[in-house]
Amino acid sequence: MRMPLINPYFLSFEILVLMLFLVCLQNARQRGSWAVWQLFAGVFFGLLLEWATIQQLDAYEYGCFLVMFGPVPVVVGVAWGTIIYSVRSFSDKTSLPEWARPVLDGLMALNIDLSIDAIAIRLGMWDWGKGFDHQYFGVPYNNFWAWFWVVFSFSASLRLLSKLPGFWRRWFSPAGAIICGTTGVLITNELITSIPNDLIHYAIIVAVLGSALLLILALRPEFQVKSQAASVFLVPLGFHAYFLIAGLVSSAILNPPFLLVVSMVMSIIALGLHRDALNCWHRSNRKSKTEKASD
């Protein structure tokens, strides 16, 4: 019996996500057991929401990755966990009021998704079943609505439940965020898909995402650069770099070339947001190496 061929793009993506997860795990362990539980809760949330969304909408299906949880690749749940951990760590180091941080989390996740989805479907990682010309180059506009609400729902739930006292704060809040976050995603899925009028449907998506962006721009957050961990910028930059390189190697990003433009713009935005933190991290590493060499 012949073993099925392993798709090199699938395998390399699984390896990348595992490496990014380990970076986040190392950071979480330094912060304590509660942070580790939050990271794993994000992974469980990612797996649950993907399974539940497929059951609810039956709108897409995944390719066959190395490790699967029913119809959902485990790497997708791990990716959700690392992205949520990274964007939350970033927003926690801003001057934004706590109620606005989940909004920034959702927008930063969207920055990543704009470099991912249209290329991933051309690599066969998942399929919306609409062809490559449907809406945003094969990706339904609802997907961007969903990405925002996925991250916002979990982040907002976790921040709210973290106000519980003592034991409940430490151990129940991540579990509660899984339940509340998944419920929030399913509700917003049902809301947007139940609108029969296309004009109203797309107007709501634009209004919600546009209002979120305007809110953050109006609040003009400041960033605490020196306190940012490597996981904060390695996760988004890792995703951007992977799909840019994989897209160029496979030529998927050139079909059409506008995808290359979008990928470059989103990568530049991510680099701009994390530029100072990257420079600080680089100088710190160089100083550490110099000190070791002089010993």
Partners of 94 in the beta sheet? 223
Q: Please tell me the predicted confidence (pLDDT) of residue 290.
A: 59
Backbone angles phi, psi at 134, to 5 degrees: -75, 125
Q: Please tell me the predicted confidence (pLDDT) of residue 2.
A: 46
For range 234-238, the mean pLDDT? 93
Across 56-60, 103-107, 228-232, 273-277, the highest mean pLDDT is recorded for 103-107
Q: Please tell me the predicted confidence (pLDDT) of residue 139.
A: 95
Taking CA atoms, 33 is separated from 112, 160, 170, 172, in Å, by 28, 19, 9, 13
pLDDT at 169 over 90: no
Question: What is the number of other CB atoms lying within 10 angstroms of the CB of residue 154?
Answer: 31
CA-based R_g, the chain, Å? 19
Average pLDDT, the chain: 90
Instruction: Look at 2-11, 159-168, 242-251 and tell me which has the smallest mean pLDDT.
Output: 2-11
Find all residues with CB under 8 Å of 38, minimum gap 6, and list them: 28, 85, 158, 174
Digit-coded pLDDT (tens) for 65-98: 999 999 999 999 999 999 999 999 999 988 999 9
**Is the model's pTM score more than 0.85?**
yes
CB 25 within 8 A of CB 162: no
CA of residue 243 relative to chain centroid, distance: 14
Q: Please tell me the predicted confidence (pLDDT) of residue 37.
A: 94
Residue of 270, 234, 242 lying closest to 119 (CA atoms): 242
Measured CA to CA, the distance from residue 192 to residue 176 in angstroms comes to 24
Find all residues with CB under 8 Å of 259, minimum gap 6, and list them: 118, 119, 137, 247, 252, 253
Write out the E strands in 16-170: 61-62, 68-69, 72-73, 126-127
CB 106 within 8 A of CB 148: yes
Digit-coded pLDDT (tens) for 132-168: 999 999 999 999 999 999 999 999 999 999 988 887 7
